[in-house]
Each structure stands twice: as C-alpha cells, then as structure tokens.
Amino acid sequence: MSKEIITHRCGHSVETEIKPPMKNFHGKMKRNYFDGWQEWRIAQLEKELCPICYEKERNEKIEKENREAQEKSQKRNLPPLTGSEKQIAWATTIRINTLEYVEECLVQKKEWANSAHKEENRLSRNKKVDDMEEAANKILSINSSKFWIEERASLKSIENIVSNAEVWLKEYK
Ligand SMILES: [Zn+2]
C-alpha cells in the first residue's frame, strides 16, 4: 500500500491511498506486478474527478433529474406526494420513471396482444394488458413518498406491479 498525490481531471490534487485490489495481494503477487497495477490505477484515477467534485457533480445530476421529474409530473397533473422535502423529490423521480416505464410496457404488450392469430388469444392477452393498466393506475393514486422509495426495485417490473398493487394500496394508502 502506498500514498500518492493524484492530480485529477478537475485539476485538484489529492493524497490517495492506493490499495491493492485484493487481500494479501502483496504476499501473493510479485512486486513488479503490483507496481504495474499501481501505475495503471493512478492513470485511471487521474482521469476521474476528485472526490469533492465527483460528489458535487453527482448531486447536481440528481437535482436536475428531480427538477425535470417535478416539471413532468405537473404537466401530467400527478397528485402531490407526502413526506419530507427530500423524500418527495426522490419519490417524484421514481414515480415519473415508473410511469414512463409502464407506458412503454403497455405499448409493447398491446402489440403483443393484438399480434395473436386466434381471436381467443387476442382477447385473453388484451385482458392481461388491461389488468396491467388497471394496476398501474391504482398505484399512481398512492401519494406516500415512502411507498415509491421503499418499493422502487419492485416498481421496475410490470409483473410485480400487477401482483402487488392490491397489497400496496392497503399498506400505503
Ligand atoms: Zn476536483
């Protein structure tokens, strides 16, 4: 392990500990191998922002995303969310991303439904799509930021939305 002064692409120089990629790296690997790796790692770090600029850029990106989500939500007349200011900002972004994802899914699923050759299949598939739309509309009525934040992983799957909508409504409304 060694400490190096890294000059990042933002121009800031930061003393950084160059850690071996795995435990006992020194013991297991030959010294010249580590030196080669260390050189590569330093070059890589130099191409990155320093931790402070990285954090700043990341926060600005999140703020921008949240602002855009807020504007889109207003345009679509989505109901206001409840929670702390921070929760609302985050949940607004998750909700609009979910909505856009669901809309895209529905377009695809409708195509799939109508592509069935047999009429009975067409009908049963369209029924499934209607169920998806209904489930999505139900969860859109949930105003609790907590819901959107806690279930954000599940909300990435239309199948999960369909199977959980009722439970979520009871739990979060
Ligand atoms: Zn910097």
- Show the domain range for 16: 2-48
The alpha carbon of 42 and the centre of ligand 1 are apart by a number of angstroms equal to 16
CB atoms near residue 116 (< 10 Å): 14
The confidence score (pLDDT) of residue 22 equals: 63
Q: Which residues pair with 15 in a beta bridge?
A: 5
The alpha carbon of 111 and the centre of ligand 1 are apart by a number of angstroms equal to 49
State the Cα torsion 53-59-63-64 to the nearest 10°: 40
The confidence score (pLDDT) of residue 37 equals: 81
The confidence score (pLDDT) of residue 71 equals: 97
Residues at Cβ < 5 Å from ligand 1 ion: 10, 12, 50, 53
The alpha carbon of 129 and the centre of ligand 1 are apart by a number of angstroms equal to 49
The answer to whether residue 26 scores a pLDDT higher than 80 is no
Residue 48 is given by DSSP the state: S
Residues 136-145 have pLDDT tens digits of 999 999 999 9
The alpha carbon of 48 and the centre of ligand 1 are apart by a number of angstroms equal to 9
Q: Letter for the amino acid at 173?
A: K
The confidence score (pLDDT) of residue 18 equals: 85
Q: Mean of the pLDDT values across residues 46-72? A: 97
Q: Are 102 and 20 within one domain?
A: no
The alpha carbon of 89 and the centre of ligand 1 are apart by a number of angstroms equal to 27
Q: Are 40 and 92 within one domain?
A: no
The alpha carbon of 50 and the centre of ligand 1 are apart by a number of angstroms equal to 4
Residues 64-119 have pLDDT tens digits of 999 999 999 999 999 999 999 999 999 999 999 999 999 999 999 999 999 999 99
Q: Are 167 and 83 within one domain?
A: yes
Q: Are 90 and 159 within one domain?
A: yes
Q: What is the DSSP string of 15-32?
A: EEEE--SSTTHHHHS-HH
Q: Which two tokens stand for residue 147?
A: 């819901």
Q: How many domains does the chain have?
A: 2
Q: Are 39 and 98 within one domain?
A: no
